[in-house]
Amino acid sequence: MHISSLPSEYGIGTLGREAKDFADYLNRARIEYWQILPIGPTSYGDSPYQSFSSFAGNPYFVDLNTLCEEGLLSYDECRSTYWGDRADRVDYANMYEKRFPILWKACDNFREVINPGSERYKKEEKDAYDRFLSVNKEWVNDYALFMALKDAHGGKAWFEWEDDIKKRKQDAINEANNKYAKEVENYKIVQYFFDTQWTEFRKYLKEKEVKLIGDVPIYVAYDSVEVWKEPELFALDRNLEQKEVAGCPPDYFNENGQLWGNPIYNWKKMERDNFSWWMKRLRRVFDMHDVVRIDHFRGFSSYYSIDGKAENARNGKWVKGPGIKVFEQLKKELGNPQIIAEDLGFLTEDVFKLLDETGYPGMKVLQFAFDAGDGSNIYMPHNYNRNSVVYTGTHDNETTLGWLQNTSDWVRTNTFRYLNVTDSEGWVWGLIRAAHSSVAYLSVIQMQDYLSLGNDCRMNTPSTIGGNWEWRITREMLSDGLNDRIKEMNYRFGRASYGEK
């Protein structure tokens, strides 16, 4: 369950009290891992997988009540703002319009706190802010300028800006930093708020013995500060237009394939400096999480490349990726961090070989398991090995109830017979039991599945725009009865130990 899906009176889940209350709920249920989606600032389409930055945190997740407690905002100005009509959905259009003016007010007040000439001056706060800027100088300055420039250009993508700033001519950069100094500082301050609250959030999770699983999208957005800052690391031409883009080939579900539109990496150039860009990116994400899921892991083995001017993904080609070299360098620099490989989709021998070489656990999804009757499907529980992570479904799937309602009668019957699902147990809980009772070392269940919710609560439908990433829980959903049932299931299959933590 993503941070955005937490309850909140301000339209979207944040890192405040509700996040800690949810950690309490997980602790009582003896759930020891909480998996979230990427936490970067969201761009067009509101997807966490299309972010303006691979290093910054999402400003929407900054908790307003915490800023009120710190005297940087008033409760009245936060609560008098319209945040949407529904407590169970995020209204992203309204969020984009209303959230930033509130945050800018907090920034104005924070400037007084770090100004030695102000009556509100706090030296320890100024020192902490300066320390944050120093530790994060490799990314925060460029990110803040990038976002200030986007605002100045009415939200236009960087490749639509005037030539000098698009190509980062030094004089143009200097002029922009001077012209938009306040706006640039605003974005730095908001990242400081995020960092401070994230640190407190992680500290609380550790107290509750809940480990956080993060997520690294394999690709970055074309309209991102990383591509603007270092275009030579991507497959762009002299005019900074995309020569190649990422996607997936045509399959049973989509005759045109999937045209993601993300720029392809210039892997040869990256390899020449030992993948330093990737090492910085992974170091950042491991600083912020205990475990990391690497999205589209097969792209390191071989990736599907499509002409940058193509209208669909039909005529792409498979290209050999960097393979084990990236992960050998990762082990040299970061030791052996805990990684989950998202190895779903079109799998070939080279992908299985890379998984074996890295030793990372792959993913098993129960919704993919029961479309054949001979027991050979790799997602059927009897085919798992210990070094795997099982999911009832992922954020890109239907909810489990929705899938069971919409799949064919044959698949549903095959599922129920294999798992011995009964009406008294409940359809969805039969699959939760199957996940927990499998040999996979980790079992991950979507919150929607614990709640037995239908497809109106689905998180994302791939290749669609609008209506995605919006689902939220309400406080009433987190009942004691559900908590007890989750805890009993964890005990029954040895996924939690008895006794107080």
Can you list the alpha helix ranges (DSSP code H) found in 213-266? 225-229
Please report, for residues 276, 287, 445, the alpha-carbon distance to residue 282 in angstroms, rounded to integers and kept in the order given. Answer: 10, 8, 25
- Is the Cβ–Cβ distance between 358 and 427 less than 8 Å? no
Backbone angles phi, psi at 451, to 5 degrees: -90, 0
Q: Which of 196, 197, 4, 204 is nearest to 99 (CA)?
A: 4
The tokens for 115 are 């100004």
3-class DSSP assignment, residue 153:
coil
Rounded to whole angstroms, how far apart are CA atoms 309 and 316? 11
Cross-sheet strand order for the sheet of 244-248: 258-263, 244-248, 302-307, 317-320
- Is the Cβ–Cβ distance between 224 and 54 less than 8 Å? yes
Whether residue 223 lies in the annotated active site: no
Active-site residue among 342, 398, 449, 470?
342
β partners of residue 56: none
Residue 467 identity:
G
Whether residue 21 lies in the annotated active site: no
Rounded to whole angstroms, how far apart are CA atoms 150 and 168? 14
Whether residue 328 lies in the annotated active site: no
Tokens 């390899």 belong to 271
The tokens for 32 are 């020891």
Extended strands (E) in 367-463: 388-391, 442-444
| 3-state percent breakdown (helix, strand, coil) of the chain, nearest 5 | 45, 10, 40
Rounded to whole angstroms, how far apart are CA atoms 472 and 433? 24
Number of alpha carbons in the 13 Å side-chain half-sphere of residue 225: 21
- Is the Cβ–Cβ distance between 223 and 159 less than 8 Å? yes
- Is the Cβ–Cβ distance between 461 and 468 less than 8 Å? yes
Strands 388-391 and 362-365, by their bridges, are: parallel
Strands 442-444 and 388-391, by their bridges, are: parallel
Rounded to whole angstroms, how far apart are CA atoms 298 and 302? 6
Active-site residue among 63, 142, 295, 398?
295
Tokens 């908590």 belong to 483
Nearest-10 crossing angle of helices 17-28, 181-207:
20
The tokens for 111 are 């400037």
- Is the Cβ–Cβ distance between 222 and 242 less than 8 Å? yes
The residues carrying an active-site annotation are 295, 342, 396
